[in-house]
């Protein structure tokens, strides 16, 4: 099935640095979403960007969407140890069905 693929699989940075993770997908979408998962917990919605939007901000998060390249990026600025988590992109490529998730990027932020 169509699925977003995050890159890199794992990312380790120092507190204060920026973290960038990418998502590529295969077919046309209506929107793309990013979720975060802390260890042992359920996923939490971070941000949704629609196909007619190119960039969206929420606090320290910046999401871009390039529909021509079928890709999205999530930038976390000034990372904190509390940002340590797995991050997933999700797409709605098939109208009327559920979100399809990628395999995630594991971010580790050390102090």
Partner 1 sequence: DAGITQSPRHKVTETGTPVTLRCHQTENHRYMYWYRQDPGHGLRLIHYSYGVKDTDKGEVSDGYSVSRSKTEDFLLTLESATSSQTSVYFCAISPWGPGNTIYFGEGSWLTVV
Smallest gap from residue 9 Cβ to partner 1 (A): 10
Please tell me the distance from the alpha carbon of residue 66 to that of residue 55, in angstroms, as a whole number. Answer: 9
Tokens of 41: 């917990």
Instruction: Provide Rg for the chain, Cα atoms.
Output: 13
Among 19, 21, 85, 88, binds partner 1 (CB under 8 A): 88
Smallest gap from residue 31 Cβ to partner 1 (A): 6
Comparison of 48 and 75: residue with beta carbon closer to partner 1? 48
Comparison of 41 and 80: residue with beta carbon closer to partner 1? 41
Rounded to 5°, the CA angle 74-65-39 comes to 30
Binding mask 37-56 for partner 1 (x = CB under 8 A): ---xxxxxx--x--------
Smallest gap from residue 67 Cβ to partner 1 (A): 15
């Amino acid at each position: 099935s169509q699925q977003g693929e995050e890159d890199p699989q794992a990312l380790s940075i120092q507190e204060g640095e920026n973290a960038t993770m990418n998502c590529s997908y295969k077919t046309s979408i209506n929107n793309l979403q990013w979720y975060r998962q802390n260890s042992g917990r359920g996923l939490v919605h971070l941000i949704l960007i629609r196909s007619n939007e190119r960039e969206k901000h929420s606090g320290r998060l910046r999401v871009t969407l390039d529909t021509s390249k079928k890709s999205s990026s999530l930038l976390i600025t000034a990372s904190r140890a509390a940002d340590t988590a797995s991050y997933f992109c999700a797409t709605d490529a098939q109208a009327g069905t559920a979100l399809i998730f990628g395999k995630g990027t594991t971010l580790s932020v050390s102090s």
